Structures are given as C-alpha cells and as structure tokens.
C-alpha cells in the first residue's frame, strides 16, 4: 500500500505561525517541482551555500544543480514530520519522496525519505540550507503529519556552536561503545534513517537501526549550524562505510547528518541519517 499523508485544517501546532511558514515553504517547493521542473525548483528554494548529497559525499553550493539539464521526470515528496527552534527561524522537515522517470508515468520507480533543514533569511523568506535523504523500498503504512511533543529548554545560556559541542561529546562516547552512546544520546522521538530501510521512528527502534547500519569509521565533520536560540542544530560530515552486496564488500564515502535538540535539560539526537 502506498504511503498516504492525511492533512487536516489546523495541522500545525496551534498558534505556531513560524512552524506553519516553514512547512508552507516546503510545500511551495514541492508544488514548483511538480508544476515546473525539479532543477529550477531546487535552484529557487535552496540557499546559495546549501548542502546536498553528491556521488561521493556532501556537496556545498548549487553549481552541480545548475549544470543539470531540465528533464521531464518528477521528483515528488510530502511533509511527514517537522520541528522548529524556539527562535522560529530555523527548523527541519522530513517525509517520503517518490521518483517517476516521466511526469505522466502512473507509478514511481524509486522511493525514499527526504530531510531538509530550513532557515529564515534576512528578507523574511525561507531557504533550504541542507537537503540530504535516503533511498529505500516502497512504503507500507499510511502516516499523518506530526511535530514534536517535546519543547526545547534553557535557550538563553547556550552559544551558537552548541550542536557541534554535543556532536563532539557524542563522538567521544561512541569510542567507548556505540549502543550505549546512542541510548544515552537519542530522544524518545528520534527518527533514524539508513539506505535501504524505511525510517526507524522512536528510541525503541534503536537496536534495529544499528543492526541495519553498515560498519563505519573515521567520521569527519564538515559543517554545523545552531539556531540563534541555541536549542536546535545540525552537524553533517562523512564516514568510511563498509558496504556488502552479493557477498562482496567495498568501502564507500557515506554522508551522515545529525540534528540535535536541547530537551529536558540535555542535548538529544532527534534525527540521525546515514546515506551513500
């Protein structure tokens, strides 16, 4: 059964106009990709320094997208989950994507999950600053849009580099033991994604997520940003992942993204992505 998102009036948090505006920006992005073309939609809604996934790790900037020809294909997606910083100018969306080789094709030929970080610009417009997802098989369950039930806390005393500090502390714990480090760091609302698998949602799915992840090492942090309110931020980079297919193993440069949120007085991972 195809994944269907049921959208109702008032579907964003009551009174949270910033969250609604961010989701509306994503939906406008989706509409432009549907009605015009994928390339121009990405060029319009991505920031000039946006981070996207390339063939050998993340790529910063839009030069690669600019060089792509306009095609008659269709990359379509839906917003399934969103969260926003207390400052109201920085947040993320995630949800399913579908790809058709031609817009008129009846069925998609590829599926996956997108993850986009959005930031309000000085002119008041929202821009996508990081867009990295995974591919997996067809969806199996219907879902409704949702957002976090956990408020961020203690925003005044933290600095802009807080997400990076949380990531470095997590890296030190990983050396001692991967499962223990994750159990300590993940939010109950965590969403975890790795190529070839549907998203793992909630802390109870951690063991299955870790079993699905290929062995990887040599993490290299390439970029980070924290909201001005200091309660939500992302870190991205690369790792060397050992991928086995048809009995043969090879090392690939994989991209990781982690979104950190300050909840309950502690930094917690709310999104963990590994793609290659």
Provide the pLDDT for residue 153: 63
Ordered DSSP codes for 117-177: EEEE-TTS-EEEEEE--EEES---S-EE-EE-SS-B--GGG--TTHHHHHHHHHHHHHHH-
Q: Domain 155-275 belongs to what architecture?
A: Roll (3.10)
Query: What was the pLDDT predicted at 53?
Result: 97
Are the C-beta atoms of residues 113 and 136 closer than 8 Å to each other? yes
Distance CA 118, CA 131 (A): 9
Domain ranges of the chain: 5-147, 155-275
pLDDT of amino acid 152: 76
Residue 131 structure tokens: 């867009």
pLDDT given for residue 144 in this prediction: 87
Q: Which two tokens stand for residue 239?
A: 């790792």
pLDDT averaged over 10-residue windows placed end to end, the chain, 276 residues: 34 73 98 98 98 96 97 97 96 98 97 98 98 95 89 62 95 97 98 98 98 96 95 97 93 97 95 98
Task: For the chain, give the mean pLDDT.
Answer: 92
CATH topology of domain 5-147: Nuclear Transport Factor 2; Chain: A, (3.10.450)
Side-chain half-sphere exposure of 178, counting CA atoms within 13 A: 10
End-to-end CA distance of the chain: 27
Q: How many angstroms from the chain centroid is the CA of residue 231?
A: 17
Query: What are the residues whose beta carbons fall under 8 Å from the beta carbon of 268, sequence distance 6 or more?
Result: 185, 186, 187, 190, 260, 261, 262
pLDDT digits (tens, 9 = 90+) for 162-185: 999 999 999 999 999 999 999 999
In the beta sheet, which residues pair with residue 60? 51
pLDDT per residue over 182-217, tens digit each?
999 999 999 999 999 999 999 999 999 999 999 999
Please tell me if the domain spanning 5-147 has the same topology as the one spanning 155-275: yes
Q: What is the pTM of this model?
A: 0.93
């Amino acid at each position: 059964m195809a994944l269907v998102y049921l959208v109702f009036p008032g579907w964003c948090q009551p009174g949270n106009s910033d969250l609604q505006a961010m989701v509306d920006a994503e939906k406008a992005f989706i509409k432009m990709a549907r009605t015009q073309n994928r390339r121009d939609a990405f060029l319009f809604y991505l920031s000039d320094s946006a981070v996207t996934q390339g063939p050998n790790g993340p790529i910063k900037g839009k030069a690669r997208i600019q060089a792509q020809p306009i095609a008659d294909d269709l990359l379509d997606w839906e917003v399934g989950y969103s969260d926003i910083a207390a400052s109201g100018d920085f947040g993320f969306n995630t949800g399913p994507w579908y790809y058709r080789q031609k817009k008129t094709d009846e069925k998609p030929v590829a599926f996956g999950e997108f993850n986009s970080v959005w930031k309000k610009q000085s002119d008041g417009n929202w821009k996508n600053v990081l867009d990295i997802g995974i591919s997996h098989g067809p969806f199996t369950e219907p879902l409704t849009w949702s957002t976090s039930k956990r408020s961020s806390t203690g925003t005044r005393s933290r600095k802009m580099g807080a997400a990076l500090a949380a990531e470095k502390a997590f890296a030190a714990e990983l050396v001692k033991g991967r499962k223990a480090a994750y159990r300590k760091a993940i939010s109950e609302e965590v969403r975890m994604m790795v190529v070839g698998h549907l998203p793992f949602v909630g802390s109870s799915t951690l063991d299955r997520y870790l079993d699905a992840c290929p062995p990887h090492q040599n993490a290299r942090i390439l970029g980070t940003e924290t909201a001005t309110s200091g309660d939500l931020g992302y870190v991205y980079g690369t790792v060397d992942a050992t991928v086995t297919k048809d009995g043969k193993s090879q090392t690939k440069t994989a991209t990781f993204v982690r979104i950190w949120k300050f909840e309950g007085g502690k930094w917690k991972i709310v999104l963990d992505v590994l793609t290659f």
